[in-house]
Amino acid sequence: MSRIFITGSADGLGLLAARLLVAQGHQVVLHARNQTRGKEALHAVPGAEAVVSGDLSSIEETRHVAELVNDIGVCDAVIHNAAVGYRESRLIRTVDDLPHVFAINSLAPFILTCIISRPKRLIYISSGLHRSGNPSLEDLTWRTRRWDAYGAYADSKLHNVILAFAVARRWPEVLSNAMEPGWVATKMGGHGAPDSLELAPVTQTWLATSQDREAVVSGRYFYHQKPKEYLPAATDQSIQDAYISECARLSGVAFPV
């Protein structure tokens, strides 16, 4: 039995993954952006061990989420699932004056990775759209670029892959991987999404718990439990190091050695 923390598990794929893991007999720690949503998450996932609440668009609250998780106990795996989509037609800035999409999708996983006690496995939920992301890391905070919601989302999903591969390189004792669940009919994906909702939470739970030879790997990218092509720039060590450095600067959280 493993303890798994899943960000953004009050609904969508995070909720489905939580239910699947509980059904398999694992201890699951849920996450929601506030206490009301947290209570709803506990009701929706009977058997979950606990829930932590905090808005991942805030650096301070994200740090607090990590501390709450540490208070519960060491996790065997963390699934970085929380994300917002590509429908923000205007640039929304957070309390920290960062783009909303970047703060939740990109910076929060970095902060949580740095502060949560190092687990055995890390899984970062990306998207096929990461292949359209900008690997130059130019203007991560959208100060000079004209706002493009689709581009911001694609960039953030590329950041997830870069972070997963950077962690795999820097922490060889941790299994760190990225994956895409497919375009499925969640609140983010929309009703017309063509991929299987039933299969969408399977790969992340498999990577979090399975002893299959194919799952006990690191620095890989998956789709439906199979390796899949990713943007090659994500393996560039200079890009990884630049991304880690910029996230540390923006968040004030150093990456542990």
Selected catalytic residue, list 86, 124, 157, 230? 157
Instruction: State the residue range of the domain holding 72.
Output: 3-251
Distance CA 175, CA 172 (A): 7
Q: What is the pLDDT of residues 110-125, one digit of tens each?
A: 999 999 999 999 999 9
Model pLDDT for residues 201-233, shown as the tens digit of each residue: 999 999 999 999 999 999 999 999 999 999 999
Q: Is residue 87 part of a domain?
A: yes
Q: Would you give the end-to-end CA distance of the chain in angstroms? A: 28
What is the mean pLDDT of the segment spanning 20-45?
97
Measured CA angle at 136 (ends 131, 140), to 5 deg: 95
d(Cα 254, Cα 257) in Å, to the nearest integer? 9
DSSP-based three-state secondary structure for 4? strand
Q: Is residue 113 part of a domain?
A: yes
Neighbours of 211 (CB within 10 A): 6
Q: Has residue 257 been placed in a domain? A: no
Containing 17, the helix (H) or strand (E) segment is helix 12-23
86, 120, 124, 153: the active-site residue: 153
Q: pLDDT of 71-88, one tens digit each?
A: 999 999 999 999 998 889
Q: Is residue 94 part of a domain?
A: yes
Residue 122 domain-assigned? Answer: yes
What percent of the chain lies above the pLDDT cut of 70? 95
- Domain annotation covers residue 256: no
Give the residue-averaged pLDDT of 86-95: 93
> Known catalytic residue: 153?
yes
Catalytic-residue membership of 228: no
Instruction: State pLDDT tens for residues 122-133.
Output: 999 999 999 999
Number of domains in the chain: 1
Structure token pair of residue 222? 């998956």
88: left (phi over 0), alpha (psi -120 to 50) or beta: beta
CATH number at 228 reads 3.40.50.720
Record the tokens describing residue 158, joined without a space: 């590329």
